[in-house]
Amino acid sequence: MPIKSLIRTIPHYPKQGIMFRDITTLLKDPIGLRVVIDELAKRYADMKIDKVVGIESRGFIIGAPLAYLLGVGFVPIRKPGKLPAETIGHDYELEYGRDRVEIHTDAISSGERVLLVDDLIATGGTAEAAASLIEKIGGEIVECAFVIDLPDVGGRKCLEKHGYKVFALCEFEGD
Ligand code: AMP
């Protein structure tokens, strides 16, 4: 089952020039959803993962069922002000402006092996910020996993330059 064929492209959303890769069409397909989660579970089954960390909000949809299948805990990385207990945050640059992600300081124990999950990697800025938060609280990143990579935007290369391993189920070129 080709995952890629179930992903819908919306041109010029949320702004002119962006080809938005919409995974809602993949998620609503019962086989599509199952294949995504099963493929990732198969890949990570023997990698001794301790925690799956998902990035708000589409990373939650993929990360939580994956953690369930791997038999490990799930940790959310969220936008500012959403997590109720003590947090640390990381600010990062967007194409226009800045953004910030936060994690609970007690979400990961020192030395735990972490799988970082999001739906898509574009510039890699969000994943890099998330990875640095995980490391700050003592986690070791085993790999960063995505449903979609946009290779032309260069996020994978950027993460790899920083020493992170990257895996994606499919790629969209020319974005
Ligand atoms: P980045 O930090 O540039 O790697 O952007 C990654 C985040 O932005 C992910 O959480 C994606 O959900 C979202 N995103 C960026 N570009 C796109 C796109 N072309 N289509 C859908 N989502 C995108």
CATH, residue 130: 3.40.50.2020
Q: How many residues does the chain have?
A: 175
Please tell me if the CB atom of residue 58 comes closer than 6 angstroms to any atom of ligand 1.
Answer: yes
Q: How many angstroms is it from 52 CA to the middle of ligand 1?
A: 19
Given this model, what pLDDT does residue 175 score? 59
Given this model, what pLDDT does residue 94 score? 83
38, part of any domain: no
Given this model, what pLDDT does residue 60 score? 98
**What φ, ψ does residue 173 adopt, rounded to 5°?**
-85, 160
Please tell me if the CB atom of residue 19 comes closer than 6 angstroms to any atom of ligand 1.
Answer: yes
Catalytic amino acids? 58, 95
42, part of any domain: no
Given this model, what pLDDT does residue 174 score? 79
Please tell me if the CB atom of residue 123 comes closer than 6 angstroms to any atom of ligand 1.
Answer: yes
Split into its structural domains, the chain has a count of 1
Please report where in the chains the tokens 């030395």 appear, as a residue. Answer: 111
Which residue in 120, 117, 142, 149 sits closest to 130, CA to CA? 117
Q: How many angstroms is it from 79 CA to the middle of ligand 1?
A: 14
Please tell me if the CB atom of residue 20 comes closer than 6 angstroms to any atom of ligand 1.
Answer: yes
Given this model, what pLDDT does residue 99 score? 95
Q: How far apart are CA 7 and CA 80, in angstroms?
A: 29
129, part of any domain: yes
Neighbour count for residue 174 (Cβ, 10 Å): 7
26, part of any domain: no
Pair 104, 83: CB distance under 8 Å? yes
Query: Which tokens is 92 given?
Result: 């990062």
Given this model, what pLDDT does residue 131 score? 98
Residue 129: domain span: 47-171
Residue 124 CA, closest ligand 1 atom number: 4
Given this model, what pLDDT does residue 139 score? 98
Tell me: the pLDDT tens digits for 37-49?
999 999 999 999 9
Residue 21 CA, closest ligand 1 atom number: 20
Residue 118 CA, closest ligand 1 atom number: 10
Whether the model clears a pTM of 0.95, i.e. scores above it, the answer is yes
70, part of any domain: yes
Q: Which residues of the chain have pLDDT under 50?
A: none
